[in-house]
Amino acid sequence: MSGRGANSSSALLQPSMQQRTGRIVLIVAALLFLAVFLVLPVVAVFTQAFSQGWKMYADSIHQEDVLSALRLTGLVACISVPLNMLFGIAASWAITRFEFHGKSLLITLIDIPLAVSPVVAGLMYVEVFGLHGWFGPWLSEHNLHVIFAVPGIVLATVFVTFPFVARELIPFMQAQGSDEEVAAVVLGANGWSVLWRITLPNIKWALLYGTILAASRSIGEFGAVSVVSGHIRGQTTTLPLEVEMLYNEYNFTAAFAAASLLTLAAIVTLVLKKTIEVTSGVHRHTEEKEAQS
Amino acid sequence: MSIQVQRISKQYGSFAALSDVSLTIESGELVALLGPSGSGKTTLLRIIAGLESPDEGLIRLHGEESTGHSASKRGIGFVFQHYALFRHMTISENVAFGLRVQSRKLRPSRGDIRERVRELIHLVQLDSFAEMYPEQLSGGQRQRVALARALAVKPKVLLLDEPFSALDAKVRKELRDWLRRIHDELHVTTVLVTHDQDEALEVADRVAILNQGGLEQIGTPQSIYDNPASPFVYNFLGNVNLFHGRLLADLSPEARGDGRKEPIESAVGFVRPHELEVSRDLPPDEKAVVASVVRIHSAGPQVRLELSIAGNGRPVTAELGRKQFEEMALAPGDSIFIWPQSIRLFDDDGARALLLDQGAGI
């Protein structure tokens, strides 16, 4: 009995020739898959972008339309990301610190943008704010433009990126509990003091993490924005829309040059995200809590 | 500052956490709220603190009604079971917090704050830890920081919610003694919530015992230990032997404790293990029963015997001093005589305490 046991355990530790080949095959298959579906496309974007040399690349980006798309994308991100931070903090604070009726409904509502196709989101805004929509006549009377203008693009982006901060904060704040905040209140702190001195310092890494995800999505959003933008060159095209338009015009070098900017933004996001995970232990924290309980 | 709890009730859904609880805590007193989990003791503490609001009733702090005041305006110090230290602040920043968030008019100068924080950290004997973070400290040290933080704002009332229950036995004992010393030094009115009867009886000036949202009894540790008002209190404060029996003769009216006339036939008797006499010889009045020794626990200052009454086999616990134990040379299986020195009777539903002379039969 004992002899057999020893044999089988050593067999586990030292794989047979067959098992070793099996392992190598699997690893190679996984690496190949990664290379073909993830690395190669990224490389292709940059090769295409630089296919006619540095000068052509620089010129493509320096076109007035591309620059204006870049500016618009930046503007939209600068408006929608802070809005989402505010909303995310408020929603997670309410959900994790208070008991109220309709709480589960609110949690469900926050997830809607993730469940709904972005195109549908865009169409909803057209239906509400468009010329023939509910508020359309009133808006055009007052000379306010939402659809096919910058406000519509901001609205669509805010909608699509709505859940990112809140979804990151809610589980984190639930795991942290409200003891410290209650302690601060008893010590005489008012609501603002509690928020600035206790809550925000405690959630800063999770907040930053969610914000980066929201920012990356708001830069890259295509579907919802495409519906409400109207594709007016130099006015209502964001960078992803500009890429599509250039591509449809067979201007491949320019399209890939613009796309390379988006790809760069994505790479920066990933690096930042990883750095935060490592330095702050945002996700480690919740795991520890789970392990404790 | 005195605390008056007047007819407080609190309901969570269909669960009555507190029903019509009234008690008064005198200025400078240390009172323990003692009870099993679910007895409402923590809810009562949080209502006094203003962290929960009662459905009915009033809280008066120093005679002034404060039921509507928020927790931040009550001038109380609160110590939590799990410390609730601010994890991103050093120990001295934690202690300084209550002073730093005061409105500009009341806030002491930076120098004064620094001085006060230094004093408090010295008081809790953590001088060399001032610049460390909470996660670098042990549980006992963290709870001392929490106490210093609560004391920084010079609270008129100090409320402690099971402050030592997350600590191991030895540290718990040390901190308990230390809390009593601090209280004797500062004389701040203190309410301590605990489920540990030793802790309550040892530390507090008075102990309030809660059960199922109601106040069972309040009194000095000795008075509630010696004269428990109900079977619950008897059971909760240490080990007790229970005897069900019939009364052979009706009690005199004064012994019955109320004016009811109908005869009381059966009763429950409570005898603490140390009130049970054990001997190898039959006592002179011959009022004793025979029991056999089942198990002997002889580690500790008192020896505890697990006995089984001959005839009905009911388990009984007795305690005796080491000296007597050695003289008797007991071993498991021995038969001995047992009789109660004193017994306390309650009628069957536990509602009335009955008086009985010593030495009455079981």
Window 188-247 of A, Cβ < 8 Å to B: 188-190, 193, 197-198, 201-202
DSSP 3-state of A60: helix
pLDDT at B94 over 90: yes
One-letter amino acid for residue B209 of the chain: I
Residues with Cβ within 8 Å of residue B269, at least 6 apart in sequence: B242, B243, B244, B245, B340, B343, B344, B345, B362
Give me the mean pLDDT over the B1-26 stretch: 91
What lies within 8 Å, CB to CB, of A214 at 6+ separation is: A80, A81, A84, A85, A88, A161, A164, A165
Q: Which residues from chain A sit within 8 angstroms of residue B143, using beta carbons?
A: none
Average model confidence (pLDDT) for chain B?
86
Torsion of CA B215, B219, B223, B228, to 10 degrees: 0
Chain B residue closest in CA terms to A199: B86
Q: Is B49 in contact with A186 (Cβ distance < 8 A)? A: yes
Q: Which residue of B has its CA nearest to A200?
A: B88
pLDDT of residue A286: 46
How many Å apart are CA B60 and CA B141, to the nearest integer?
Answer: 33
pLDDT value for A138? 84
Distance from the Cα of B89 to chain A's closest Cα (Å) equals 9
pLDDT digits (tens, 9 = 90+) for A10-68: 555 666 778 888 899 999 999 999 999 988 988 888 888 888 888 888 888 888 888 99
Flag whether pLDDT at B269 surpasses 70: yes
Looking at per-residue pLDDT, the higher value among B95 and B355 belongs to B95
Nearest CA to B242 out of B317, B293, B311, B353 is that of B317
Contact A185, B72 (CB under 8 A): yes
Q: For B320-355, what is each residue's pLDDT tens digit? A: 998 888 888 888 989 999 988 888 888 766 555 665
Residues of chain A with pLDDT under 70: 1-15, 281-293
Query: How many of the other CB atoms lie within 10 Å of CB of A160?
Result: 26
**Position B249 pLDDT exceeds 70:** no
Percentage of chain A modeled with pLDDT above 90: 35
Type of residue numbered A148 = F
Phi, psi for residue A163 in degrees, rounded to 5: -75, -15
Which residue in the set A180, A182, A189 is minimally distant from B51, CB to CB? A182
In the structure encoding, which two tokens stand for residue B217, read together?
A: 């009894």
- Round to whole Å and give the CA distance between A146 and A150: 7
Q: Which residues of chain A lie closer than 8 angstroms to B150, CB-CB? A: 186-187
- Six-digit token string for B108: 């002491």
The pair of three-digit structure tokens given for residue A250, joined into one six-digit string? 């067979």
- Report the residue from A179, A184, A190 with minimal CB separation from B97: A184
Contact B97, A181 (CB under 8 A): no
B1 pLDDT more than 70: yes
**What pLDDT score does A289 carry?**
45
Q: Are A149 and A68 in contact (CB under 8 A)?
A: no
Q: Which residues contact B87 (CB under 8 A, 6 or more apart)?
A: A180, A202, B133, B134, B135
Residues from chain A that touch B71, judged by Cβ atoms under 8 A, are: 182, 185-186
How does residue B310 score in pLDDT terms, banded at 50, 70 and 90? confident
Cβ proximity of B116 and B152 under 8 Å:
yes
Strand partners, A158: none
The mean per-residue pLDDT over the stretch B19-38 comes to 93
Euclidean distance between CA atoms B351 and B362, whole angstroms: 20
Q: Nearest CA to CA, how far is B197 from chain A (Å)?
A: 26
pLDDT at residue number B352: 59
pLDDT tens-place string over residues B101-129:
988 888 889 999 999 999 999 988 899 99
On chain B, the residues whose CB falls within 8 A of the CB of A207 are none
Q: Is A250 exposed, middle or buried (0-12, 13-18, 19+ CB in 10 A)?
A: exposed
Q: Is A187's CB within 8 Å of B72's CB?
A: yes
Whether chain B has a CB inside 8 Å of the CB on A3: the answer is no
pLDDT at B346: 80
User: What would the two tokens of residue A218 be?
Assistant: 């708001």
- Cβ contact (<8 Å) for B72 and A186? yes
Q: Does A56 touch chain B (CB under 8 A)?
A: no
What's the whole-number mean pLDDT along residues B18-39?
Answer: 93
Q: Which residues of A166-177 are buried (b: 16+ CB within 10 A; e: fewer)?
A: bbbbbbbbebbe
